[in-house]
Structure 1
Amino acid sequence: MMTFKQKLAAALSVSCLAFAIPAAHAADYTIGLSVATLANPFFQGMTAGVKAGIAKHPNLHLINTSANGDANTQTNQVTDLINQHVAALILNPINANSIVPVVKEANKKGIPVFTLDRGAACGGCQVNFLETDNEALGKEGADFIAAQLKQRYGSIKGNVVDLEGLLGTTAGDEREKGFATEFELLQKTNPDLKLVSRQAADFDADKGFNITTQLLAAHNDIDAIFNGNDDNAVGAVRAIHQANRFVPIGNPKHIVVIGIDGTEQGLTLIRKGQMDATMSQNPLTMAEQSVAYVEAYLHGDKASIPAHQFWPHMLLTKANIDSPEAKAYGLWGDQVSQ
């Protein structure tokens, strides 16, 4: 089994593949980008990564769009990009199913589609689907909570809340699958491990806040909250503070909070000791890799492009958040906020 450092080195070695074409022979290509929303810092980081990747290739030009969280808007925007005869599409679908018709339309027009972080629910319609292993994120989130509860009680027991992400996206569905499957396995050998509530907070801080506020009012014995992303977690932490239920990490009454993504807000809360952990992705390096694959495809180097690839992720806590290993991985939340 590869270590984290080996996985990171392997992924970065791929991202450093040279696809350069001599300037005199380089054709100009326009690339269309559609991200789900720019209201979420993760997708701001993703967009910054695509722009950084484009900047490395003077022959590539970008048309950048955001769907503002609306699947119909995204369909219309991608249709417009197809009608502009872009050379390739990089898509971050709002919904894995609703994006399929326009992906297939792009296929018919000979426009290659690359999906980033979230995929399309059609086999073979994407040249490359580049994402984090979202099922693994969910599983590791359940295992992290189990470890904290064992440290607290001497055995794996306690009351846990599951704030799901945006269901209908590959990221939201797979993170929930990973968490739920692992949690059920843990319950089989640890009958005092309880799931208090499972509700969709939709990758939204306000929804995370509202749901957590209601749950804290109904339950005075919540031990931990798993969050589909850092926005959910930020809302949960805010609710805990507002309910005067925050106590420091290590206190037996502390509510363990873990998120996913590695946003600037998440990193800040971890450094302050108010959030226990995040499983960080790196949308900057992941997006740059997607652009590198587009460049390779457009210049005939299709054999080097995997159909599906998992980008490395890293568990961050207060103990390692500013470590050399974390800096080598890339604290994108800090970078985007600068």
Structure 2
Amino acid sequence: MPNVKRTVATAIAITCLAWSSSPVRAADYVVGLSVATLANPFFQGMTKGVKEGIGAHPNLTLINTSANGDANTQTNQVTDLINQHVAALILNPINANSIVPVVKEANKKGIPVFTLDRGAACGDCQVNFLETDNVELGKEGADFIAAQLKQRYGSIKGNVVDLEGLLGTTAGDEREQGFATEFAALQKDNPDLKLIARQAADFDADKGFNITTQLLAAHSDMDAIFNGNDDNAVGAIRAIRQANRFAPIGSPKHIIIISIDGTEQALSAIRNGQMDGTLSQNPLTMAKQSVAYVEAYLSGDKSKIPAHQFWPHMLLTKANIDSPAAKAYGLWGDEVSQ
């Protein structure tokens, strides 16, 4: 149950803020968090980052919820947080459109909304939208595949599969946009570069496995798979091994695997030579920054909070995964698995 005294104190503080034009000092504010799911390691890392961020600010406490991948559940949970008069919301929307009504309801109640990794499709309804540049991630995924194929064949050619992420989320849509646009541009100058399949695996390892199993049976000449996230890639790798199609990196029969996130499973697969690379985000540091913006807002210091911000990302391969640069960026998958 939420702390009733703090919830009441929060409601009083919000009322006082509305009556006064001068900043009010934050005093034990309750923050509500809603993440899409805890079944995905990335969102486990995000939740860990929010908790650690809250712990660094003694004036903040947290009510933590997970929607278990269901948009209706998330709507109900956020509505409940609003009815508990939380001082602020940090949301990781399952769907950019379905979350809009409750975000607007929070706006009406004077509750600031901060979106993390995935946004809401309502423009300025969010105080801050903090994410990785997902279009750029998709673009870099296409470029990585092109570079590996050129190294293999001497030119950019080969047969490529696109395992899309969860469409309807800003992350899934924008990664696909970045990959598809860049891949089409590469094809203009490299007509032997082929996209042989495009299917949505929904950021789900089992779906990635099932789709890849079917595609391997249909295509004996698959060169590379772009994966919307690491879960897709984990499923694809399992399918490749089960079909006895695994070949080590450097072999002309190796199926190039590139994905996005930087989970512990991806890091292990890269270290073991089963996966070529992941474009790592860092949900731990990103989440802590979101909490810092919440604290600044509630303390009356809003001037340095951007409406939209891209968090840095880093390509990890076997060549650099344990380098000082990678460790400085943060191998969050290793941290969360400990």
C-alpha separation between the residues in 1 aligned to 2:164 and 2:26?
46
Read off the aligned partner of 2:206 and give its amino acid letter.
Answer: D
Please give the secondary structure, in 1, of the residue aligned with 2:185: helix
| 1:222-275 Cα shifts (integer Å, max 9, x gaps) | 000000000000000000000000010000110000110000000000000000
What TM-score, normalized to structure 2? 0.93
Query: Match for residue 169 of structure 2?
Result: 169
One-letter amino acid of the counterpart of residue 128, structure 2: N
Partner of 2:307: 307
- Aligned equivalent of 2:37: 37
Q: Does 1:150 align with 2:150?
A: yes
Asked if 1:276 corresponds to 2:288, the answer is no
1:274 aligned counterpart, secondary structure: coil
* 2:118 alignment partner AA: R
1: CA distance, partners of 2:54 / 2:242: 43
- Counterpart of 2:66 in structure 1: which amino acid? S
Superposed, 1:22-33 pairs within 5 Å as 26-33=26-33
1:17 aligns to what? Answer: none
Rg larger for: 2
Paired position in structure 2 for 1:3: none
Partner Cα separation in structure 2 for residue 155 and residue 270 of structure 1: 25
Structure 2: any 5+ residue segments left out of the alignment? 1-24
Length, aligned pairs only: 314
Q: 2:6 matched to which residue of 1?
A: none
- Alpha-carbon separation, structure 2, partners of 1:36 and 1:61: 20
Amino acid at match of 1:73: T
| 2:124 match: secondary structure | coil
Q: CA deviation at 1:123?
A: 1.2
Task: Give the 5 Å matches for 1:123-272.
Answer: 123-272=123-272
CA distance, structure 2, for counterparts of residue 206 and residue 26 of structure 1: 45
Matching residue's letter, 2:86:
V
Partners of 1:312 and 1:26 in 2: CA distance: 30
Give the SS at the match of 2:111.
coil
Residue identity in the other structure for 1:219: H
State the Cα deviation string for residues 171-211 of structure 1 (Å, max 9, x = none). 00000000000000000000000001000000000000000
Cα distance in structure 1, aligned partners of 2:273 and 2:33 = 37
1:336: Cα distance to partner? 0.2
**Secondary structure, in 3 states, of the residue corresponding to 2:125?**
coil
State the alpha-carbon separation in 2 of the partners of residues 234 and 150 from structure 1: 25
The separation in 1 between residues aligned to 2:38 and 2:248, in whole angstroms, is 33
Displacement of 1:105: 0.2
Residue 151 of structure 2 aligns with an amino acid whose one-letter code is Q
Q: 2: distance between equivalents of 1:309 and 1:28? A: 27
Tell me which residue corresponds to 2:63. 63
The answer on whether the counterparts of 2:161 and 2:226 sit within 8 Å (CA) in structure 1 is yes
Which residue in 2 is equivalent to 1:289?
289
RMSD (Å) for aligned C-alpha atoms: 0.5
With structure 1 as the length reference, what TM-score do the two structures score? Answer: 0.93
SS in 2 for 1:124: helix
1:274 is matched by which residue type in structure 2? Q
1:108, 1:281 → 2: CA distance? 33
Q: Distance in 2 between matches of 1:123 and 1:235?
A: 35
> What does residue 332 of structure 1 align with?
332
Superposition misfits of 4+ residues, deviation over 2 angstroms: none
Q: 1:26 deviation in Å?
A: 4.7
Can you list the C-alpha shifts for 1:92-123, whole angstroms capped at 9, x where unaligned?
00000000000000000000000000000001
The 1-side partners of 2:35 and 2:193 are apart by 38
> Alpha-carbon deviations, 1:148-191, whole Å to 9, x = none?
00000000000000000000000000000000000000000000
Which secondary structure state, in structure 1, belongs to the residue aligned with residue 51 of structure 2? helix
Measure, in 2, the Cα distance between the counterparts of 1:237 and 1:26: 49
Q: Distance in 2 between matches of 1:325 and 1:27?
A: 39
Gaps of 5+ in 1: 1-24
Q: Which amino acid aligns with 1:310?
A: F
1:255-302 Cα offsets, whole Å, 9 max, x none, are 000110000000000000000000000000000000000000001111
**Residue 59 of structure 1: how far off its partner (Å):** 1.1
